[in-house]
Every structure is written in structure tokens, then in C-alpha cells.
Amino acid sequence: MERPLLMGLLLLSASARADGLWNASLGASTDYVLRGISQTYDSPALQLGGNYQNPVGWFIGAWGSNVNPYPHTGSSAELDLYAGATHSLGDEFSGRVAYTHYIYLDDPRRAHYDYDEISLTASYLDRLSATVSFEPDYSSYSTAGFSRDRAAGAIEITGRYPLLRGFSLTGGAGYYDLQHLFSVSYWAANGGLAYVHERLTLELDRFIVADTARRLYGEQSANATWTLSAVLRF
């Protein structure tokens, strides 16, 4: 899936002119931040993805990145396998349902962290998107201990406002429910500037994350973090 969701909106805009049903992407970022939490401990990430989109609306694909998730025990790789369908709700609106299986390859951590996610998204063109997601078997380690195969959920809104010459203002916010894992929830937000030129997307973002995330994940919280990302779609 789009990691983060806002980059998905930008790639949707950038790929509107893409040829064929198959698409791939090559990306790099100064820090891989997912839901306000750094997945690489403030270190660079290289990311690859590919997907097939049928004219009827269903899609299937894979996305991967190097990660060093909490707790800090060594590097591994994240592989996301996803499938779903998109349905037009008129000329400007669309809906999407997706299933994603998150896999951690060569994970040095003792516990098993793979999990599944089901998400529903409503979008207005490539400008605004709202997503509700549910993870029935999410596992996480934090300062509160280890919770395995517990239910978790998220509500996320992302958007972009086009400026001139390929530039856009970007922003997003999310609420993350970890009540079944650690009896807490937290919010995170980001805002920045993006530039799209043909198949290349550049994005500069700053993150703001609730202090609850810092208490759970320590320095892995991305609060006040700046990230610079580049994605080439082909």
C-alpha cells in the first residue's frame, strides 16, 4: 500500500499519465515514518513497489522497504502484499477496499510481528482521502510490554492542495487505537511541500506526534522529524 498514505495521493496524480496496467516504483527517504513512528530509527530507507491495476478496478501488488523496527535489535525488511478493488462513485469520488498482509523478513526480534489489515478509503479526485483500517492480529512491543495478536485500528485523512508548476501543499492526520494492546491511543500529523514532474515525486514533510507515542516507543517517535522523499514511478 501507499506508505505513507499521502504519498499515495501524490503518486496517483503523478501516475495519471502512466502507460499500461502494470506500474512500479523506486523510492528513497531520509526516514521511513509510518503512523508517526520511525521504522528505521531516523535512518534512510530504500523502497520498491509494483502493482497491477485491472480496468474493471481490482488491483494486486507488493511493496517493500528496509526497516529497523522497535525494539532496536537489528535491521530487517518489510514486505507488504496487498489486493483490493476501487469503484468510481461519480466523476470526482471513488471508494476502495483493500487487504494487506505485512511480513517482516529476516527479523532478528524473537516475537512474530507479521499482521493483516483491512481498509476502506473514500477519495475526492487525487486531492483528499479518508481511510478507516482494522488490524485483527496486530503485535507490538513497547515500554508497556509486549502484546501479540490484538485488535488495532486507525482513522486517517490525507490531502494536497495544488500550487503552481507541479508544486503542492500536503498534509495528513491520523488517530491510532491501541486500546487492546496498551490501553492507549495517540494521534499523529504531518505537513509539507511536494513537487511532481512527470514520473518523479519529491516530498518534504515535518511530523507532529502525540507524546503518548514517545512514552510507548521512545526515540522511535517521529515528533518534530523532517523527512525528504523521492519516488520514481515507471
pLDDT over threshold 70, residue 162: yes
pLDDT over threshold 60, residue 2: no
Q: Give the pLDDT band (50/70/90) at residue 12.
A: low
Predicted confidence at residue 26, as pLDDT, reads 97
pLDDT over threshold 90, residue 66: yes
pTM: predicted TM-score of the whole model, two decimal places: 0.91
Task: List, for residues 69-83, the tens digit of each pLDDT value.
Answer: 888 778 899 999 999
Predicted confidence at residue 125, as pLDDT, reads 93
Predicted confidence at residue 71, as pLDDT, reads 83
User: Locate cell 469503484: which residue?
Assistant: 87
pLDDT over threshold 70, residue 116: yes
Residue 52 makes CB contacts below 8 A (sequence gap 6+) with 21, 22, 59, 60, 61
Q: Name the percent of the chain lying above pLDDT 70.
A: 91
Q: Give the pLDDT band (50/70/90) at residue 213.
A: very high
Q: How many domains does one find in the chain?
A: 1
Range of the domain at 111: 5-233
Predicted confidence at residue 1, as pLDDT, reads 38
- Provide the CATH number for the domain around residue 50: 2.40.160.40
User: Locate cell 503512523: which residue?
Assistant: 35
